[in-house]
Amino acid sequence: MGSEQFSSLRLRRIATKLEGAVSSTNFTRQAEPDEPVTPCGRLFCQPNMNCYIMCTLGFKNPINLPDFKRALQETLVKHKRFHSVMKKNMNGTDVWVPIEVDIHAHVFEPSGFSEEDVAAPHFVEKYVADLASAPSISFSRPLWECHVLNGTSGDAAAHMIVRVHHSLGDGISLMSLLLACTRRVNHPHMLPSVPSKRKKPKVEPYFVPLNSLWTMLILLWNTILGLAYYFATILWMKDSDTKIKGHYGVDKAPKSLMYTVIDIDDMRVVKDAVNGTINDVLMGIIGAGLHRYLEGRYKVMQDVQNRDVDHRKDKSIVDHLRIRATALMNTRPTPGLQELATMMEGGSQTQWGNRLGYLIFPIPVKHFSDPLDHVRAAKKIGNRKKASLEGAFTYWSGALLMAITGPVLPALLTEHTTLQTTLAVSNVPGPMEPVMFNGNPIVHIYPAAAGQPSSLSIFFQSYDQKACLVAMTARDLIPDPGALCEYMADALQEMKRAVASRRQDAN
């Protein structure tokens, strides 16, 4: 099969609107300057923050490995990060240096598994969880690899797990590259569409000065509160010592992983009912799911100690717990997926890489008689966080500290701050319609990350009006992530029923 058959797969510019012409972009390796590694990229290379992103793609049909290798050579490998290694230049700066890539060393089918093993239920999830504890990729070659699994059970006949070192880019950057490598199933020559930016309400001209002043005051106040909260977390404020909270060394602990699929339309019903966002609903169902999960864990513990324990006491224990998340956020001025055209134009890719800040987000784990109150509580917190510069501060202050002291101290502070909280949360939007790679339709996408000092990480990945809600856990602390996923999915259904009940009462 000649290379001309893969010409339609070459990386191209992404249209930032749902429809529009797509101009061609050709990545070449001629006269490529050595580009510096981003501050976050250097941080992720530290031993205590050695993080990997693992993106699992489920394919409708079996994967033809030779064809996929050729397709990846014409797409993924064309991006500079995927054919470069990290080295120091004469000034001692970490830079990306292009090299030749041996595709066979990066794309392979793992050996040692029988067909029955691969076809077993949840084999892929267990494989990804074990991959989280696998040895690091050698820095002598590009920091990525693809594991191909044919003959898997479920709705996908095959899976490809793309394992990428976090220094290459954040979730937004890597999702942009995935979008640039795929095409729509119904329109094979068109790139996928991406979620558009939410339109802001119009303000009358004579209200603009007053509105701007009020917005600035709110931004200033919320930023002061957010930074005070952030520094308090660094210095002394930590989450309750629950059965699920991590500890130093948890990043090296064996992992478990499970996911559940939820309907985006269900989330829209809930968000419209509270005039919120998908993120508000996500944090709300996380809070509701964690409340039920912790309630069960503490009830089991107390039942062993006292068979006559009053169940009302269990609720009071969970209600008084401090549970917070380290919520990753994109620090680009506009949503990252809207800047795909800039990222994928070729040449200097200054917008590519890690542009992550993080927020300390209290999770509403209290018991609410109205299920929607979980989302309302999350919305109240989220509105304050969005109207502040807390996330941008964590990124730029980290970059400044790294420029002054090097990556060791920022890595220690990031590790310490993360361990002061209970979980990490990440939300990356994906394609809005079915897509395919190399002519093979993708049926689901779910991400995970390894190496972060957190006992519980929750990932939300939307794709084709569905979303995968993924829980990766430290096995010794949370051995049953599937139960947590079920609780979160059940919480969403309870919220949807509450909305339907209110509408019925209103009529």
Give the chain's mean pLDDT: 83
Distance separating alpha carbons of residues 172 and 244, to the nearest angstrom: 28
Of 336, 318, 316, 310, give the one whose Cα is nearest residue 429. Answer: 336
Q: Give residue-wise pLDDT tens across range 235-258.
A: 999 999 999 999 999 999 999 999
More confident residue, 375 or 177: 375
At residue 1, the pLDDT reads 44
Q: What is the mean pLDDT of residues 433-442?
A: 94
* Cβ partners under 8 Å of residue 53, min gap 6: 163, 164, 165, 166, 171, 174, 447, 448, 449
Q: If pLDDT is split at 50, 70 and 90, which confidence band does 36 have? A: confident
Q: What is the mean pLDDT of residues 84-92?
A: 87
What 3 state SS string does 222-248 have?
HHHHHHHHHHHHHHCCCCCCCCCCCCC
Of 72, 52, 63, give the one whose Cα is nearest residue 148. Answer: 63
Q: How many CA atoms lie within 13 A of 37 on its CB side?
A: 28
Residue 298 scores a pLDDT above 90: no
Q: If pLDDT is split at 50, 70 and 90, which confidence band does 505 have? A: confident
Q: What is the mean pLDDT of residues 423-428?
A: 92
Q: If pLDDT is split at 50, 70 and 90, which confidence band does 299 have? A: confident
Distance separating alpha carbons of residues 318 and 335, to the nearest angstrom: 35
Distance separating alpha carbons of residues 306 and 296, to the nearest angstrom: 15
Sheet-wide strand order for 94-98: 35-36, 94-98, 84-88
Distance separating alpha carbons of residues 74 and 32, to the nearest angstrom: 18
At residue 200, the pLDDT reads 56
Distance separating alpha carbons of residues 135 and 55, to the nearest angstrom: 17
Residue 163 scores a pLDDT above 90: yes
Q: What is the mean pLDDT of residues 354-377?
A: 90
At residue 103, the pLDDT reads 94
More confident residue, 253 or 2: 253
Distance separating alpha carbons of residues 159 and 63, to the nearest angstrom: 8
At residue 428, the pLDDT reads 85
DSSP assignment, residue 455?
A: S
Q: If pLDDT is split at 50, 70 and 90, which confidence band does 347 have? A: very low
* Cβ partners under 8 Å of residue 18, min gap 6: 193, 194, 196, 432
Per-residue burial over 457-490, b if 16 or more Cβ lie within 10 Å, else e, is bbbbbbbbebbbbbbbbbbebbebbbbbbbbbbe
At residue 338, the pLDDT reads 38
At residue 329, the pLDDT reads 79
Q: What is the mean pLDDT of residues 333-357?
A: 52
Residue 189 scores a pLDDT above 90: no
- Return the ∠ at Cα 416 (arms to 413 and 418), rounded to 5°: 105
Residue 335 scores a pLDDT above 50: no
445, 102 in Cβ contact below 8 A? Answer: no
238, 418 in Cβ contact below 8 A? Answer: no
Lowest-confidence region among 61-65, 87-91, 397-401:
87-91
Q: If pLDDT is split at 50, 70 and 90, which confidence band does 409 have? A: very high
Q: If pLDDT is split at 50, 70 and 90, which confidence band does 348 have? A: very low
More confident residue, 477 or 26: 477
At residue 342, the pLDDT reads 43
Residue 30 scores a pLDDT above 80: no
C-beta atoms surrounding 153 within 10 Å: 13
pTM summary value: 0.86
Q: If pLDDT is split at 50, 70 and 90, which confidence band does 503 have? A: confident
Q: Give residue-wise pLDDT tens across range 198-233.
A: 655 554 554 455 567 888 899 899 999 999 999 999
Catalytic residues: 166
Distance separating alpha carbons of residues 352 and 84, to the nearest angstrom: 14
Q: 3-state class of 307 per DSSP?
A: coil
Type of residue numbered 58: G
Q: What percent of the chain has pLDDT over 90?
A: 57
Pairing of strands 466-474, 356-362: unpaired
Measured over all CA atoms, what is the biggest interatomic distance in the chain, rounded to whole angstroms? 75
Distance separating alpha carbons of residues 62 and 60, to the nearest angstrom: 7
Distance separating alpha carbons of residues 295 and 321, to the nearest angstrom: 11
At residue 446, the pLDDT reads 93
Residue 257's beta-bridge partner residues? Answer: 472
End-to-end, the C-alpha distance of the chain in Å comes to 63
